Structure 1
Amino acid sequence: MIRTLVATLSLAMISVGAIAEEAAPIPGPRSYETRGQVTVNGQRVRYTATAGETYLRDSDGNPTASIFATTYIADGTSDPRTRPVAFVFNGGPGSASLWLHLGVFGPQHLVLPDAGDDGAAPYDIVENTRSILDVADLVFIDPVGTGWSRPLGEHEGSEFWGVNEDAASLDQFIRIWLSEHQRWNSPKYLLGESYGTTRVGALLNQLEGGYTDVAINGVVLISTVLDFRYNDTSDGNDVGYVALMPGYAAAAWHHNRIDRSAWNNDIETFLADARTFAIEDYMPALMYGVSLSAEAQAQIASELAQFIGLPAIYLQRANLRVSLSRFQRELLRDQGLSVGRFDARYTGVEIDGVGERPDADPSFYGIDGGYTAAMQDYFGRTLGVDLTQPYATLGDVGDWNWDTGRMGNNSYINTGPWIARAMRQNSDLQVLVAQGYYDLATPFMGAELMFNQPGFVQDRVHMRYYDGGHMVYLNDASLTALADDVRELITSR
Structure 2
Amino acid sequence: MNFGRVLVSLALCLAAPAWAQEAADKKPAEKDAAPIPEPNVSVTQHRGTFNGRSIAYRAIAGETYLKDKDGKPTAAIFSTTYIADGLRDPASRPVTFLFNGGPGSGSVWLHMGAFGPKRVAIPSDGTDDGAPPYPIVDNPDALLDVTDIVFIDPVGTGFSHALGKTDPKDFWGVTKDAQSVAQFIRLWLNEHGRWNSPKFLGGESYGTTRSAAVVNELEGAYNDVSLNGVILISTVLDFAAGADTQGNELSPILNLPSMAATALYHGKAQAASVESFVEEARQFAIGPYAAALLKGQRIGADERASVRRELSRFTGLSETYLDQADLRVEPGRFYKELLRDRGLTVGRLDSRYTGRDYDSAGETPDNDPSFYGIDGGYTAAINSYMRGDLGVKTDRSYVTIGSVQPWDWKIEGGRDSNAYLNLTPYLGRALRENKDLRIFVGQGYYDFATPFFAAEYALTRTGIPQDRIEYQYYGSGHMMYVRDEDRVKLSADVRRFIQQR
TM-score relative to the length of structure 1: 0.95
Describe the shift of the 1:128–1:160 C-alpha distance in structure 2 as closer, same or farther (beyond 3 A). Answer: same
| Matching residue of 2:87 | 77
> Is 1:175 matched with 2:182?
no
Is the Cα contact below 8 Å between 2:121 and 2:134 reproduced in 1? yes
| Residue type at the aligned position of 1:150 | H
CA distance in 2, matches of 1:306, 1:113: 31
Structure 2 gaps, min length 5: 1-7
Is the Cα contact below 8 Å between 1:80 and 1:185 reproduced in 2? no
| Matching residue of 1:241 | 252
Is the Cα contact below 8 Å between 1:243 and 1:443 reproduced in 2? yes
Which of 418, 432, 444 aligns to 1:436? It is 444
| Residue type at the aligned position of 2:433 | Q
Which of 57, 80, 84 aligns to 1:47? It is 57
Identity %: 51
| Residue type at the aligned position of 1:393 | T
CA distance in 2, matches of 1:135, 1:282: 44
CA distance in 2, matches of 1:17, 1:90: 45
| Matching residue of 1:143 | 154
Superposed CA offset, 1:37-70 (max 9, x none): 1101211011000100001011111111110000
1:76-95 superposed matches below 5 A: 76-95=86-105
| Residue type at the aligned position of 2:79 | A
> Is 1:453 matched with 2:461?
yes
Q: 1:407 Cα deviation (Å)?
A: 4.3
| Matching residue of 1:230 | 241
Which of 327, 336, 343 aligns to 2:350? It is 343
> Is 1:198 matched with 2:209?
yes
Q: 1:431 Cα deviation (Å)?
A: 0.2
Is the Cα contact below 8 Å between 2:67 and 2:74 reproduced in 1? yes
Is the Cα contact below 8 Å between 1:301 and 1:313 reproduced in 2? no
| Matching residue of 1:131 | 142
1:13-412 superposed matches below 5 A: 19-22=30-33, 24-114=34-124, 115-258=126-269, 260=270, 263=271, 265-408=272-415, 409-412=417-420
Q: 1:411 Cα deviation (Å)?
A: 2.3
Q: Give the number of equivalent residue pairs.
A: 485
Is the Cα contact below 8 Å between 2:120 and 2:134 reproduced in 1? yes
TM-score relative to the length of structure 2: 0.94
* Secondary structure of 1:73's aligned partner: strand
Alignment root-mean-square deviation, CA? 1.9
Superposed CA offset, 1:382-401 (max 9, x none): 10111111221102312110
CA distance in 1, matches of 2:242, 2:352: 19
Is the Cα contact below 8 Å between 1:54 and 1:67 reproduced in 2? yes
| Residue type at the aligned position of 1:214 | V
CA distance in 2, matches of 1:477, 1:401: 38
* Secondary structure of 1:433's aligned partner: strand
Q: 1:275 Cα deviation (Å)?
A: 0.6
Q: 1:475 Cα deviation (Å)?
A: 0.8
Superposed CA offset, 1:244-282 (max 9, x none): 000000110100001x2xx3x222111111111001111
Q: Highest Rg: 1 or 2?
A: 2
* Runs of 4+ more than 4 Å apart: 1-6, 15-18
CA distance in 1, matches of 2:107, 2:205: 11
| Matching residue of 2:4 | none
Structure 1 gaps, min length 5: none
